[in-house]
Amino acid sequence: MTTDLQREQLAKLVASFMSYSAGHLPDDVKLRLTEMSKIENEGFAPDIYNVMQKNMELADSLKRPSCQDTGIPQFFCRVGSKWPYLDIIEDALIDAVKEATAKAPLRPNAVEVFDEKNTGNNIGTHSPWIDWEIVKDSDVLELYFYMAGGGCSLPGFSKVLMPLEGYEGIAKAVFEQMTTYGVNACPPCLVGIGIAGSSEVAAKLSKKALLRQVGSHNPNPKAAEMEKLIEDGLNSIGLGPGGFGGKLSVMGVNIEQASRHPATLAMGMSTACWAHRRAGIRINPDFTYDFFTHKGAAL
Amino acid sequence: MSTFEFKTPVTEEDIRKVHIGDVIYLTGDIVTGRDDVHHRVAISGKEPPVDLTGKAIFHAGPIMKKISAEGEPDKYKVISVGPTTSMRMEKAQAEFLAKTGVKIIIGKGGMGPKTTQGCIDNCAIHTIFPGGCAVVAAEEVVGVEGVEWLDLGMPEAMWKLKAERFGPLIVSIDSYGGNLIENNKIEFNEKREKALEELKGKLNFMD
Ligand code: SF4
């Protein structure tokens, strides 16, 4: 069976899904920004929220990427074990990145390490970055696309703590990172924290935490409590939009966890800027789809 | 807090009027330059291909679109152009100011003590355009005069832009040594210590 047709169909769909999400924030992020703008009524904050609002409107009406930094393209695939076109996904995603880069247009950001050359089309070694998860008994391809910008990737880090540093040690590191680099990450940010037994797992979970909705809670009540405590604590610092000061700092804090080793407490942290361009789509075997992060969007 | 309307070439007299927290709208010549441009000018010692005296340097890596047909002279349009993290240029900014005569730096986030000193020595300022608002910025650019050092790639090249009432530009470093974001950071750090104090004992999930 030749799958050229399906590859083209998938690439086209993903390319328009990428272009759309470059110019439109997901519903949950827009909602939270609106809520925050009502609270931030002092100093520079109202003016900055106004410019942000105007930017979202212009990006929509002019069909432009809302931020010039369209990031390193990252895909998180949750692919059903019964999705019929496993073979073509990777190639289709690469085609889609090429197409969206030329047409949206997206900024070419892939710089080859060591050669130190920009490839010009966002395709490079492991670019786009693709993360795979298999979902059993499903025939759906659930695809998250994330644009990892430079400024918002800057506070990211992971490290392994001694268990006796405790969960407080994690909070402390997050607070320090946010007060040091937060102003460069176009706040208000969404903070993703991963907790695990080794650094790479914690780091990856921290990015997955950013894919969760703003305002969602970790199902573990203690983790949810920690999310809330860190969120309230960060808000009490009052970075405000753009770091000019205000009543709030973050859109939220999402934590994801994996079991740890008795002798390690690894943490990872990722941040998303206010222009949190995360998009999720569920694609059926017949290529009908549900663009579930952006309800009502027409591709 | 005052609001100013400036035109390039910006003069020392203009710069002397502004203080941290003021807002500027700038009309005239703005040239983009990020890490590589600063490296070439301040570290490798290359002559900038454009006279930057009295102009603004914009820490930005835009998305540009070529709008000229095959065979015609190159013409570009700005699609999206917002500020990038200014702190990355900290190492080279003061030298850059001294070598070029740039009067206004535009970026996001603050800059450090070297740049603050550079602004005192060269009578210049650092300003912040709201981050992530790249389409608003693109709409305030009324023309693209050309590009230099395109060999650095689209985001890193020097794009020569004509802007009209470009802003709001919030003054974060003035020519008197004031540094708004550094002041804010002192406050943030104090509040952070208080917040951590509040958290004590609340995250004891280990028995
Ligand atoms: S941090 Fe986000 S909004 Fe700010 S410049 Fe980077 S990608 Fe754009």
Residues A85-125 have pLDDT tens digits of 999 999 999 999 999 999 999 999 999 999 988 999 999 99
Which residues of A are less than 8 Å from B63 in CB distance?
A: 65, 68, 70, 105-107
Q: What is the ipTM of this complex?
A: 0.94
Q: Quote the DSSP letter at residue B40.
A: I
User: Which of B136, B191, B196 minimises the CB distance to A238?
Assistant: B191
The tokens describing A67, both together, are 């931020």
Q: Given pLDDT bands bounded at 50, 70 and 90, which one contains residue A1?
A: low
pLDDT mean values, one per 10 residues, chain B (207 residues): 96 98 98 96 95 97 93 93 96 97 97 98 98 97 96 93 98 98 96 97 91
Closest residue by Cα to residue A76 from A216, A281, A269: A281
The strand pair at A189-196 and A265-272 is best described as antiparallel
Mutate to test the pocket of ligand 1, among A146, A152, A274 (most ligand atoms within 8 A of CB): A152
Mean pLDDT (chain A, rounded): 96
- Mutate which of A48, A55, A69, A277 for ligand 1? The one with the most ligand atoms within 8 Å of its CB, which is A69
Give the model confidence (pLDDT) of A187-228 as tens digits: 999 999 999 999 999 999 999 999 999 999 999 999 999 999
Asked about B38 being catalytic, the answer comes back as: yes
Q: Do B198 and A236 touch (CB under 8 A)?
A: yes
Q: What percent of chain A has pLDDT over 70?
A: 100
Residue in B131, B135, B156 closest to A58 by CB: B135
What is the distance in A from the centroid of ligand 1 to the CA of B84?
7
Q: Domains of chain B by range and CATH?
A: 3-179 (3.20.130.10)
Which residues neighbour B127 within 8 Å (Cβ) at sequence distance 6 or greater?
B24, B104, B105, B106, B107, B169, B170, B171, B172
Class of the CATH domain delimited by A4-22+67-149+277-290? alpha beta
Q: What is the pLDDT of residue B1?
A: 85
Residue A160 has pLDDT above 90, yes or no: yes
Q: Where are the domains of chain A?
A: 4-22+67-149+277-290, 152-272
What is the C-alpha to C-alpha distance for residues A159 and A163, in angstroms, rounded to an integer?
12
The strand pairing partners of A78, in sequence order, are A133, A142
* pTM (predicted TM-score): 0.95
